[in-house]
Structure 1
Amino acid sequence: MSYLFEETPQYALNKIAKSVPLDSKLVSTASPLPNTKTPGFSPIYRNDYSPNKLINVPYPGLDTLYKLFDAAAAAFPDKPCLGKRIKNPDGTFGKYVFETYGTIRQRRNNFGSGIFFILQNNPYRLVDSPAHAKLKYDPTNKNLDNESFILTIFSHNRPEWSICDITSAAYSITNTALYDTLGPDTSKYILNLTESPIVVCSKEKIEKLIDLKKSNPEELRNLICLVSMDELTTEDSYLRNYAHENHITLFDMRQVEKLGEINPLEPNEPTPDSVFTITFTSGTTGAHPKGVVLTHRNAVSGVTFLFSNFFGHFNSIFYSFLPLAHIYERAVIQFALTTGAAIGFPQGPSPLTLLEDIKVLKPDTLALVPRVLTKLEAGIKAQTINNDAKPLLQSIFTKAINYKMQEQAKKENEHTNPSLFVYDRLLNSLRKKVGLDNVLAITTGSAPISSSTIKFLKASLNIGLAQGYGLSESFAGMMGSSKFDAESTSCGPVSVTTEIKLKDLPEMGYTADDEEGPRGELLLRGPQIFKEYYKNPEETAKAIDEDGWFHTGDVARIDSEGKVSIIDRAKNFFKLAQGEYVTPEKIEGLYLSKFPYLAQLYVHGDSKESFLVGIVGLDPTTAAQYIHARFRDKIVKKEDIVEFFKTPRNKKVLLQDMNKSVGGVLQGFEKLHNIVVDFDPLTVENEVITPTMKIRRPVAVKFFAQQFSDMYAEGSLIKDTNGKL
């Protein structure tokens, strides 16, 4: 369609900028649609901001990631876009240096053009490969008749990662990602399944990838090109030779961009239905990961959700901390690019540079996960309310934090931070010391988090903290709480992009007619929700029903305002010998939220046994404090603490304290009767948790089989002779 007068990208983004943030009260509730309740299900809920329709674009015409970034690049060509810290000669890192939106757009065009050049002229291109038949530039196709080839990205967070994403969007290339914790077998599986011809990676991954093809020449026959994000020098000639020996061409990114500059191609604009990415979920079953197929429509809907819950401003500063291989961070970065943000990246792959980097970058917002926040909470507590070495400081901060928590918990303060002049100055100084002085709010998602952690951090840092919910299948978040939610227990209402309902789970005791509000398995539908798993119709059919509802497997409760709390996981329950059903995720969450000395917990039951056992991971920052307070003993070394809790007497005291903390919340059969104590027993390396910290229960039950057997042989530590707790 052609127009006599067209709105410029600057006009569109300026209009959005003047309209955000939305009044949080307008999007903070959801309601059931009339006459939508059916047997076995709750009514359908929609956000009260738009009950009559779902919204999937932030502004008319901005319906692909390509259009969103191009609008930002046209509106803010000279604004900083992607930045990194320059390494000094002494090995330290200096200030952040940024390239502008205009520069990144030009690099995008050069890189996209160069990718097609090196693939179409590749000497190892196979004439009999259907995957290699896709290595063509066809701007008339719009990625509808023919699928794109798959470009694979493999590195830690860095500007080049985002350039790959931006380029993929502009040239209708579908991409996917590998990450270290997948391991070589899963990486081989993904490269084979996608028939990916090209991997763009950091230099240290190159040799491993060539090794992988050398060991699997037939399965990885389609892999014919590697592009290093780092410059290749004459010293790297052995890598080029090794690559050619295994029918792979090797370039660095600047070479590809130069070839693209010499052989330019205009962006091959995608449609909303073009596939943007295939994100492989790490999975909790131990089987091969499933590839979630996500279109530009899904992605732009995700950006639209973030606009509806936006509490910042345009041209802000973001820090890209969470792994870009996971959809949570990718959604955040796509949103940041739309708003003209300056995005700073970490020094390298280590997460330990977080606080050092943000002190230099001074971001406005942070997207973090519960594990990072609980460590931050423990560190702040050690310096403030648990600082026995400085009683005066301890007393002052305890009063300030407790009073701030009390005021923030009032319903009338749900959409604003109550001003407490004297205490605010003290708490703001603490926030500045941590390096968060410019941060307006923190968002968290991907895993459950204790409400006590949210309340403490909101108060101690005098900051907003919003909890969201989303999945790979929903292009990350599709609901989010107010950043000053009074109770800090929910993920907020469903957003304007999606509708939800709950499915009864009578075998678990959850129904839509429960007294405390509808409870059941959470079902999602709308433009933000994926349509299929890659080359996996069987799993797609299991996940999406005939009416288009995606069954998440998460158990939710919806309150009177339409706010959603995730309370359990469907199918993760088992029956004990006495016939009682137990849901371990609910139990784990309660112990972790009520007993602050735990960092990890895995609850296990057996149908032949009458009680539960558990694998306990102590919090390394507070374990010594607990031992000193409870046992009047001073033990600092981790290995000594583990030995300390191998003694049945000491282990029993710890277990009694854990059970006391969950008091009347859990029934007797839901409490732990024996435990094994360690630090970080659940790791990605031993494959019992996913990179997003979800427990892979089928794997974990085998991994800890001997410990479970030993605990059941030892018996309950807390029953008296009559079998009572």
Structure 2
Amino acid sequence: MPSQSNTKFGHLPLALPPNADYKKQCVEVPGTKRPGQTAHYRGSAFPFVTLESPNVFTNLVEIYDEGFLRAKGGPFLGTRPVISTNPLKYANYHEWQSWTEVDARRRALGSALHKLFQTGKVGGGDLPTVGIWSKNCATWQIIDLALQAYGKVGVSLYDTLGKDAAEFIVNHSELSIIFATPSHIPALLKLAPKCPVMKVIVAMEPLDSKEKSVLTAWGESLGVEIKELAEIEEFGRANLIEVIPATSEQIATICYTSGTTGLPKGVVITHGAMAQAVQAYLHQFQLDTETTMMSFLPLAHIYERVMELIAVAVGAQIGYTTGDPLVLLEDLAVLKPHFVPLVPRVLNRIYQSAMAAGTAPGVKGALFRKAVATKLYNLRTTGEFYHALWDRLVFRKLNNVLGGKMKLITTGSAPISANVMDFLKVGLLTEVVEGYGMTENCGSFVRTWSYDATSSGTVGSPLPNCELKLLDVPSMGYSAEDKPHPRGEICMRGAQRFTCYYKDPQKTAETIDDEGWLHTGDVGLLDDCLRLKIIDRVKNIMKLAQGEYVALENVENIYSGSPLVAQLYVHGDSLQSYLIAVAVPDPIQFASLVSRVKGKPVAPEDLKALTEATKDPQIVAAFLAELQKKARAAKLKGFEMIKRIYLTTTPMTTENGCLTPTLKIKRKETYTFFKEPLDALYALGEPSGSSSKL
């Protein structure tokens, strides 16, 4: 393999052993079973690894050094240059910075920051924290690599964070210096009177002379210095020092979780934790110096950061996209990546667009339906992922849409339906892996095994340095003794677990117990193959008027499995006996439904017609009837079913406050946003003939 090296990490990455037992993906740690919980489980494919194990990554500087050694000065970070601003147009190629160029910039930036903290120009807080506020770009990664190499603590602000959250994070983590894209600098300067700790703002892109003079004068009036990145790098080259060795206990980052309620929590993550997250994924992930990875998800999110660090560890290339989801397919076509981490929301769109081909008239649609049916049947009966005829005739086209070279897609951060996963496995001609983690364990806990034909609907088994157990949740009727599968709150332990919530010992104590277990708040079961399946959430339980408890997220996940749904929010009121919902229909599937019900064609692009259709009682009834098929298939109880639904073409977004930056629904804010139509649904009273007591 091109990326192997002669260092102590040269054995990485490791392939799944040929004798791995897909039927038994966990092993019980002997003598760990206790009342009220399962035994402790570890993954069965590899020996257990800790920070003390020989030849493992213990800090982020080691990871960078390994990649630098393997890459031998080859291309590292790529960007699509802007060739026109009005209209905005990107080049159909990437400009690459080599590992050697990035290394020089990393050293210059790190040296400059070290000197600024040393002289007291910045700093003064408990930790040497440095902020980054930008969408994904090569500069974001270079700054972060500099922080890792010179003992600084990175704090990322989400590109979509609101003013209140940004103000909170700046003050809470005591950010005296912040690297930001020019578009964010005015927002930071407006916050400056409320953020006395802020002393320097560095523009991550060049400023034109007029812009610089206005921002500099504004900054001076507030006691904040405005610098350009080139100035900081020049200052660093004049004060160059060697990289500062890192330790596993050293804090690498404070990663603020957006949270679906309240202010963000600062998750304190060490070098050792992040290094071990990378170590874990280098079991099975077959990446090397020839690999090109696409950076699409926010780098402020731990999932993307760890995935990019995996690419760094093997000396791979990372290409940065335009950042516009509407241009994703174009970005894929230009970069032709081998590896891309995505989230279910994006994969659902790919699935829905692909499945629309099955509705095409005549031979074309018939061929697609036959190809899908054949491959799904083979997957589910014989475990076959490939088919010589159908792959060549049908599915190679789908792979070409992804750039034609895709070898690995990962998904995490939210549930994805088993049906969608099965289709992606057979339709995209690439390995598709689902994982489950959280910011508090560096997004690194369990993952499905490579080419596991029956894993869809599960999130796999623990990575080689994690332990898993399930804890009874008596209030919800979940027990480690449940048959046929033990059920309970998912708890994890391992080297990639976070240290604490910054300045919040109470929340830390609520999340990490005395034995070091992280309590996730999710409920899971272990299936026949000892794979984890997430089935519920300990919180987000509400009681209906008749006393029945409902897990709203679970209901949402089931209904969202319908191809008709682009987004769904389920709402319950304790004074009411039934559930209602807001749905944003998928335009392609919705156009097909409207055309069928109305008997005349409606195009997915005809937003006006689709918007009118959302107000048509006949269409709304047909839409809900289709959704109920999912509910019945999942055996939802009567009181768990949606009884009335409001359709809208207005999506839930971070901008309108309905979604967190990681695209999870903010329940309180979403209800407020849709309060009028939701209250109107309840005002209609319970639908006649519906039995919410079933």
- TM-score, normalised on structure 1? 0.89
How far is 1:112 from its partner? 0.7
RMSD: 2.4
The 1:432/1:46 distance shift into structure 2, 3 A limit, reads closer
Give, in angstroms, the shift of residue 262 of structure 1: 1.3
Structure 2 residue 231 is the aligned partner of structure 1 residue 255: yes
Aligned positions of 1:258-337 closer than 5 A: 258-285=234-261, 287-337=262-312
Q: Deviations over 1:590-618 (max 9, x none)?
A: 1121x210112222222222211111121
More displaced, 599-608 or 515-524? 599-608
Alignment of 1:89-128 (within 5 A): 91-120=89-118
Q: Which residue of 2 aligns with 1:221?
A: 196
CA separation in 2, counterparts of 1:14 and 1:297?
A: 15
Match of 1:394, SS? helix
| Cα distance change of structure 1 residues 513 and 265 upon mapping to structure 2, 3 Å threshold | same
Unaligned runs of 5+ in 1: 1-8, 126-130, 135-146
Structure 1 CA distance for aligned equivalents of residues 612 and 81 of structure 2: 44
* 1:48 pairs with one of 44, 53, 56: 44
Change (3 A) 1:682 1:553: same
The corresponding residue for 1:476 is 443
1:398 aligns with 2:377: no
Deviation at 1:646, TM superposition (A): 2.8
In the other structure, the counterpart of 1:646 is: 615
Pick one of 329, 333, 336 that aligns with 1:359: 333
Letter in 1 for 2:360: N
Matched residue count: 682
1:34 counterpart residue number: 30
Match of 2:656 in 1: 686
**Alpha-carbon distance, 1:194 to partner:** 0.9
Measure the CA separation in 1 of the matches of 2:539 and 2:227: 47
SS of structure 2 residue aligned to 1:308: coil
Amino acid at match of 1:20: L
**Distance (Å, rounded) in 1 between the aligned partners of 2:222 and 2:655:** 29
- Partner secondary structure for residue 93 of structure 2: strand
**Contact 1:159–1:345 at 8 Å: present in 2 too?**
yes
Change (3 A) 1:117 1:212: same
Given that residues 74 and 102 in structure 1 are in contact (C-alpha distance below 8 angstroms), is that contact kept between their aligned partners in structure 2?
no
Q: Which residue of 2 aligns with 1:408?
A: 379
Cα deviations by residue, 1:309-357 (Å, 9 ceiling, x for unpaired): 313434310011100010010000111001111111113x322222112
Residue 243 in structure 1 maps to residue 219 in structure 2: yes
Distance 2:515 2:317 in 1: 41
> Alpha-carbon deviations, 1:697-720, whole Å to 9, x = none?
233344444333221221233626
1:541-560 alignment to 2 at 5 Å?
Answer: 541-560=509-528
**Equivalent residue of 1:599, what SS?**
strand
Residues 1:459 and 2:426 aligned together: yes
Counterpart among 661, 666, 689 of residue 696 in structure 1: 666
Partner of 2:83: 88
Name the structure 1 match of 2:685. Answer: 715
Shift of 1:190: 0.3
- Which residues in structure 2 correspond to 1:64-213 (within 5 Å)? 64-88=59-83, 91-120=89-118, 131-132=123-124, 148-213=127-192
Q: 1:370 to 1:308 in 2, by over 3 A?
A: same
Distance of 2:97 and 2:467 partners within structure 1: 39
Q: Which amino acid aligns with 1:40?
A: G
For residue 78 of structure 1, report the CA deviation from its aligned partner: 1.5
1:33-79 per-residue CA deviation (whole Å, 9 max, x = no partner) reads: 2331212111111111356x443489626311111101221332321
Match of 2:577 in 1: 610
Give the distance between the partners of 2:507 and 2:483, measured in 1 at CA: 34
Q: Rate the CA distance shift 1:547–1:344 in 2: closer, same or farther, 3 A.
A: same
* Alignment partners' CA distance in 2, 1:180 and 1:97: 23
Q: Do the aligned partners of residues 243 and 70 (structure 1) sit closer, same or farther apart at CA in structure 2, a change above 3 Å counting?
A: same
Q: Matched residues in 2 for 1:724 and 1:198: separation?
A: 58
Q: Tell me the CA shift for residue 692 of structure 1.
A: 1.9
Pairwise CA distance, 1:430: 0.9
Q: 1:257 to 1:58 in 2, by over 3 A?
A: farther
Cα distance change, pair 56–631 in 1 and its aligned pair in 2 (3 A): farther
Deviation at 1:119, TM superposition (A): 4.8
Deviation of 1:361 after TM superposition, in Å, equals: 1.2
CA contact (8 A) 1:445 1:467 kept: yes
Q: Deviations over 1:2-30 (max 9, x none)?
A: xxxxxxx941277325x632337638511
Question: Residue type of the partner of 2:366?
Answer: S
Q: In the TM superposition, what is the alpha-carbon distance from 1:412 to its structure 2 partner?
A: 4.3
**In the alignment, what sits opposite 1:527?**
495
Q: In 1, distance between residues paired with 2:534 and 2:100?
A: 42
Secondary structure of 1:94 counterpart: coil
Cα distance in 2 for residues equivalent to 1:257 and 1:365: 31
Q: Distance in 2 between the 1:24 and 1:243 partners?
A: 61
Q: Secondary structure at the match of 2:478?
A: coil
CA drift of 1:152 comes to 0.3
Where do 1:614-633 residues align within 5 Å? 614-633=581-600
Task: Tell me the amino acid that sits aligned with residue 308 of structure 1.
Answer: H
Equivalence map 1:7-26=2 (5 Å): 10-12=5-7, 15-17=10-12, 20-23=14-17, 26=20
- What residue identity is the alignment partner of 2:169? I
Quote the Cα distance in structure 1 between the aligned partners of 2:264 and 2:373: 44
The more displaced of 290-299 and 544-553 is 544-553
Q: Distance in 1 between matches of 2:21 and 2:230?
A: 45
The residue type equivalent to 1:634 in the other structure is P
Q: Cα gap change, 1:62/1:32 in structure 2, threshold over 3 Å: closer, same or farther?
A: closer
Q: Which moved more, 1:230-239 or 1:490-499?
A: 230-239
Structure 2 counterparts to residues 478-497 of structure 1, below 5 A: 478-487=445-454, 488-497=456-465
Amino acid aligned to 2:137: R
Inter-partner Cα distance in structure 1 for 2:57 and 2:693: 63
- Counterpart Cα distance in 2 of 1:364 and 1:681: 31
Q: Cα distance, 1:164 vs. partner?
A: 1.2
CA distance in structure 2 between the aligned counterparts of 1:27 and 1:200, rounded to whole angstroms: 48
CA distance in 2, matches of 1:14, 1:537: 36
Q: 1:243 to 1:589 in 2, by over 3 A?
A: same
5 Å-filtered alignment, 1:577-596, equals 577-593=545-561, 595-596=562-563
Question: Partners of 1:680 and 1:13 in 2: how far apart?
Answer: 53
Task: Give the Cα–Cα distance (whole angstroms) in 1 for the partners of residues 423 and 571 of structure 2.
Answer: 30
The separation in 1 between residues aligned to 2:607 and 2:693, in whole angstroms, is: 33
Q: 2 CA distance for matches of 1:79 and 1:446? A: 32
Question: What is the identity, as a one-letter code, of the residue corresponding to 1:109?
Answer: R
Counterpart secondary structure, 2:453: coil
Q: Give the residue type in structure 2 aligned to 1:377.
A: Y
Residue 387 of structure 1 corresponds to 360
> Who is 1:6 aligned against?
none
Paired residue secondary structure (1:551): strand
Query: Match of 1:250, SS?
Result: strand
TM-score, normalised via structure 2 length: 0.93
Alpha-carbon distance, 1:544 to partner: 1.0
Rounded to whole Å, the distance in 1 between the matches of 2:33 and 2:629 is 40
Q: Which residue type is aligned with residue 95 of structure 2?
A: V
Structure 2 stretches lacking a partner, 5+ long: none
426, 429, 438: which is aligned to 2:396?
429
The residue type equivalent to 2:328 in the other structure is L
Structure 1 residues 537 and 507: CA distance shift in structure 2, 3 A: same
One-letter code aligned to 2:83: N
Does the alignment pair 1:445 with 2:441? no
Counterpart CA distance in 1 for 2:365 and 2:648 is: 29
The percentage of aligned residue pairs carrying the same residue is 33
Equivalent residue, structure 2, for 1:144: none
